Amino acid sequence: MSVPTISISKQELLKLGLKKNESVHYQSTPEELLKDTLRIGEGILTNTGALSINTGEFTGRCPNDKFTVKDEITADTVHWNNFNIPIEEKYFHIIHKKIMDYLGGKPEIWVRDCYACADPRYRLSIRIITEKPWTNLFAYNMFLRPDEEELDEFKPDWHVICAPGLRLDAKECGTRQHNAAVISFKHKTILIAGSGYTGETKKGIFTILNYILPYEKDVLNMHCSANVGEGGDTAIFFGLSGTGKTTLSADANRKLIGDDEHGWTDDGVFNFEGGCYAKLINLSEEKEPEIYQAIRRGALVENVKFFEGTNKINFDDGSITENTRVSYPLDFISNALQPSIGGTPKNIFFLTCDAYGVLPPIARLTKRQAMYQYVSGYTAKVAGTEAGVTEPKPTFSACFGAPFLPLHPGFYAEMLGKKMEEHNVNVWLINTGWTGGPYGKGHRIKLSFTRAMISAALDGKLNNVETTVDPVFRFAVPSEVPGVPKEILIPRNTWTDKEAYDEKARYLAGLFVSNFEKYASGASAETMAAAPKV
């Protein structure tokens, strides 16, 4: 018996305007996509069996080239700012035509039908059309995979069309330069031209869900990871890029719900995605065994270098980018929860990577302080890897995800506030960044210590310990955490120069206060009262 080939009807292709292609690969398996990538000479098979590719000119997202069509749906609902940049509908049509003509002229393209949102009540059907087989493999890894029955009845709600090889004429297309990601809520389409960075597709879908779910379905969207303990207690970890969402949610003792994007409904949380997108820089098997073992056949590795003369990844080499990544389906993590739906969160962690070395490694927040931190969305990263760069770069990103939020941050903050009130959630601030001094003097806190602090909080071991109030930020800092040296809990104690610490703490407090000014009019007096003391 021959195996039936899954195909997409001519009619469907005509609707897409893709009649010219000789070969449209529909719903290819990961194995086929791996082989297609090698056949067109764009990948290397690593020694672990994972496929390695280079994303080209862009190795990260381009927030300045992400546009939202300003039309009757979005004009008065989207919060227009640096991340929600308006573009006229006529340009959407021009770019759409350019992309379709470009893809129509290719000898082969790849089409995939997939879903977002693990909770069937909120499912979004996505059809993704890609110039490259590896972008299609990324979509297979990262979104939810319909079974054959679901495929029979599949009707796409949204389209994502990716043409990394197409360079746009900025003037003709109304864009900033030759690349763009354009979202149209009216045409339910995301166009990506000129960039091969796979994360654009993932964060494009995240962005539209961050509009649809809270605005139309009363579900709170969150830029967080999530896992669940043996007793069924859900924990969520909010944080900006590089703060530890993926790393800290991969915990051998807890089941993984998801590593980056979730919704909070009336009865629990669900993952938007079907996979993980983990960083590879300085990865070690010993410290991050779950992620390490996921780099195998089926996984897609991006922008890494190899040890000379081998196909063995050198995880310490960031010469293409520090943002080296791997995507893999959730079930590559042995303890992933299926389906990825958990109960109402019992603990919320706000992760920050404070390269100033000022914030404590763990603190308990009151509801007001939690709201203040959520609206602030603070992290400070190391400015770069160039020689001589010693000053951390502070970032305040509302709700720990401003680049992906189409609505006003206040809309999301209010939803979170209500949920925290209603469910009496414990909220913790975790500094996964510097200790013993700022970047250049101190060092990043040991991952094993951060893990121990999170475990202690989850196990209820911090509920009755003595705490000290941070003199500037005023949250309660536990004086004892099992498995963690006492002296590192109060950051001031880890600095040799105490005056330098006090000065930096005041400086950081000042940054919080001036950042918050733009929200002052919309924030409650109680939230305002949770501001640090300058």
Active site residues: 61, 203, 223, 241, 245-246, 260, 325
Question: Is residue 260 at the binding interface for ligand ATP, with CB under 6 A as the rule?
Answer: yes
Name the minimum Å distance from CB 182 to Mn ion: 25
Name the minimum Å distance from CB 278 to Mn ion: 6
Q: Is the Cβ–Cβ distance between 144 and 175 less than 8 Å?
A: no
Residues in 115-144 at the binding interface with ligand ATP, rule: CB under 6 A: none
Question: Is residue 244 at the binding interface for ligand ATP, with CB under 6 A as the rule?
Answer: yes
Question: Is residue 246 at the binding interface for ligand ATP, with CB under 6 A as the rule?
Answer: yes
- Which of 174, 10, 201 has the alpha carbon at shortest distance from 91? 174
Residues in 417-436 at the binding interface with ligand ATP, rule: CB under 6 A: 432
CA angle 487/490/491 to nearest 5° reads: 100
Cα distances (angstroms) measured from residue 190 to each of 185, 206, 211? 9, 11, 14
In terms of CB distance, is 98 or 245 closer to Mn ion?
Answer: 245
- Which of 162, 122, 118 has the alpha carbon at shortest distance from 143? 118
Alpha-carbon distance of 125 to 120, in angstroms, equals 11
In terms of CB distance, is 138 or 501 closer to Mn ion?
Answer: 138
Question: Is residue 198 at the binding interface for Mn ion, with CB under 5 A as the rule?
Answer: no
Question: Is residue 247 at the binding interface for ligand ATP, with CB under 6 A as the rule?
Answer: yes
Q: Is the Cβ–Cβ distance between 377 and 399 less than 8 Å?
A: yes
Question: Is residue 210 at the binding interface for ligand ATP, with CB under 6 A as the rule?
Answer: no
- The partner residues of 151 in beta bridges, in order of sequence, read none
What b/e string do you get for 375-398 counting C-beta neighbours within 10 Å, with b at 16 or more?
bbbbbbbbeeeeeeeeebebbbbb
- Which of 298, 216, 322 has the alpha carbon at shortest distance from 263? 216
Pick the stretch among 98-106, 271-279, 492-500, 514-522 that binds ligand ATP (CB under 6 A).
271-279
Question: Rounded to the nearest 10 degrees, how much is the dihedral formed by the CA atoms of 57, 305, 383, 204?
Answer: 50
Pick the stretch among 41-49, 216-224, 243-251, 474-482 that binds Mn ion (CB under 5 A).
243-251
Name the minimum Å distance from CB 443 to ligand ATP: 10
Name the minimum Å distance from CB 297 to Mn ion: 22
In terms of CB distance, is 301 or 484 closer to Mn ion?
Answer: 301
Q: Is the Cβ–Cβ distance between 457 and 362 less than 8 Å?
A: yes
Alpha-carbon distance of 292 to 311, in angstroms, equals 16
Question: Is residue 352 at the binding interface for ligand ATP, with CB under 6 A as the rule?
Answer: no
Pick the stretch among 7-15, 99-107, 275-283, 314-322 that binds ligand ATP (CB under 6 A).
275-283
Question: Is residue 444 at the binding interface for ligand ATP, with CB under 6 A as the rule?
Answer: yes
Question: Is residue 303 at the binding interface for ligand ATP, with CB under 6 A as the rule?
Answer: no
Question: Is residue 203 at the binding interface for ligand ATP, with CB under 6 A as the rule?
Answer: no
* Placement of tokens 């669940």 in the chain: 228
Phi-psi region of 249 (alpha: psi -120 to 50; beta: other; left: phi over 0): alpha
Residues in 248-267 at the binding interface with Mn ion, rule: CB under 5 A: 260
Note the residues at the interface with ligand ATP (CB under 6 A).
239, 241-248, 260, 277-279, 281, 288, 432, 444-445, 447, 450
